[in-house]
């Protein structure tokens, strides 16, 4: 069954689709991802995907398991970011989350994890950057942090023209607090202070970019990303300059968008009718 968007909009060059709820959004993103990867596999031996983690990705990850029509053994997965010094078996480790939630249940052929608990860190960073650079990334699956980050490119350190592929970062306080609120760590002291992250140009270098951002806690960041300036202070705003990206929202995460309020958009749009919105 195809999951339908309730409405579709354009912000600069970015296509934004709004769904009824997180489950429908996850299903639509999974259908689109599998359709794209299966098309890649028609002409290539393998398809390479770069995957986000985080609580907001769960409905998407769960929906992937319900899709037919793809041989996951021919898919190679990479991920966006990892905490420095956190063991791969820690429940909050992004490698652990992906292995348990995606790689093992789907039977993904190969997984390149960022071993940011190993030393020297510089060797880990350069090896991962090399592996990513040598792969053709067919699909990048992103989320948006509550502070507007993409991967762990937190404001104000995000760099739209970053010369690196992978870099070490000190985590923004907002990012660390979010991890405690979501229950991944018992308190702030337990949250690692540093991470390795794929940089913004390397994320957007993928052939296709799907950004999945459901839930009301993302409404403020989504509104700033789509209606504020395109600026590293809100890293996800760069999606508006990314024609090969799609943003998947639900009613809650789209709830802060002034431009979608009935009183500011004129006549209400018909369900699923395209509506063009320019950022102010």
DSSP string, 128-181: HHHHHHHS---EEEE---TTS-BTTB-TTT--TT-S-SEEEEEPPHHHHHHHHH
Rank residues 108 and 277 by Cβ distance to ligand GLP and give the closer one: 108
Rank residues 143 and 256 by Cβ distance to ligand GLP and give the closer one: 143
CB of 217 to ligand GLP, least distance (A): 7
DSSP string, 16-72: EEEESSHHHHHHHHHHHHHHHHHHHHHHSS-EEEEE--SGGGHHHHHHHTT--S--G
- How far is Cα 115 from Cα 6, in angstroms, rounded to an integer? 40
CB of 200 to ligand GLP, least distance (A): 12
Rank residues 41 and 190 by Cβ distance to ligand GLP and give the closer one: 190
CB of 151 to ligand GLP, least distance (A): 5
Q: Are 177 and 106 in contact (CB under 8 A)?
A: no
Q: Are 219 and 255 in contact (CB under 8 A)?
A: yes
CB of 213 to ligand GLP, least distance (A): 8
Number of residue whose CB is nearest ligand GLP: 54
Q: Are 49 and 112 in contact (CB under 8 A)?
A: no
Q: Give the residues lining the site for ligand GLP (CB under 6 A).
A: 52-57, 80-81, 142-143, 145, 151-152, 182
Rank residues 247 and 277 by Cβ distance to ligand GLP and give the closer one: 247
- How far is Cα 220 from Cα 256, in angstroms, rounded to an integer? 6
Q: Are 115 and 71 in contact (CB under 8 A)?
A: no
Rank residues 101 and 277 by Cβ distance to ligand GLP and give the closer one: 101
CB of 3 to ligand GLP, least distance (A): 19
CB of 52 to ligand GLP, least distance (A): 4
Rank residues 138 and 172 by Cβ distance to ligand GLP and give the closer one: 172
């Amino acid at each position: 069954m195809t999951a339908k968007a309730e409405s579709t909009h354009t912000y600069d060059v970015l296509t934004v689709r709004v769904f009824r709820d997180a489950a429908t959004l996850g299903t639509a993103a999974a259908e689109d991802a599998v359709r794209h990867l299966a098309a890649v596999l028609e002409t290539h031996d393998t398809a390479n995907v770069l995957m986000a983690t985080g609580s907001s990705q769960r409905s998407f990850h769960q929906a992937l398991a319900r899709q037919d029509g793809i041989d996951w053994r021919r898919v190679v997965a990479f991920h966006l970011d990892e905490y420095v010094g956190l063991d791969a078996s820690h429940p909050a480790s992004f490698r652990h989350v992906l292995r348990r939630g995606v790689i093992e249940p789907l039977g993904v052929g190969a997984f390149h994890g960022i071993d940011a608990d190993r030393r020297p860190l510089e060797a880990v960073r350069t090896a991962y950057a090399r592996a990513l650079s040598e792969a053709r990334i067919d699909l990048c699956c992103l989320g948006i942090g509550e502070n507007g980050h993409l991967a762990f490119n937190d404001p104000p350190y995000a760099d739209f023209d970053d010369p690196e592929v992978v870099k070490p970062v000190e985590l923004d306080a907002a990012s660390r607090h979010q991890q405690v609120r979501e229950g991944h760590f018992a308190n702030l002291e337990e949250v690692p202070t540093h991470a390795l992250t794929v940089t913004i140009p390397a994320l957007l270098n993928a052939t296709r970019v799907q950004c999945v951002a459901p839930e009301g806690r993302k409404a403020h960041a989504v509104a700033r990303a789509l209606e504020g300036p395109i600026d590293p202070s809100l890293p996800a705003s760069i999606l508006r300059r990314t024609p090969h990206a799609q943003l998947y929202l639900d009613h809650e995460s789209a709830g802060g968008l002034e431009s979608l309020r009935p009183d500011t958009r004129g006549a209400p749009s018909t369900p699923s009718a395209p509506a063009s919105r320019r950022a102010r």
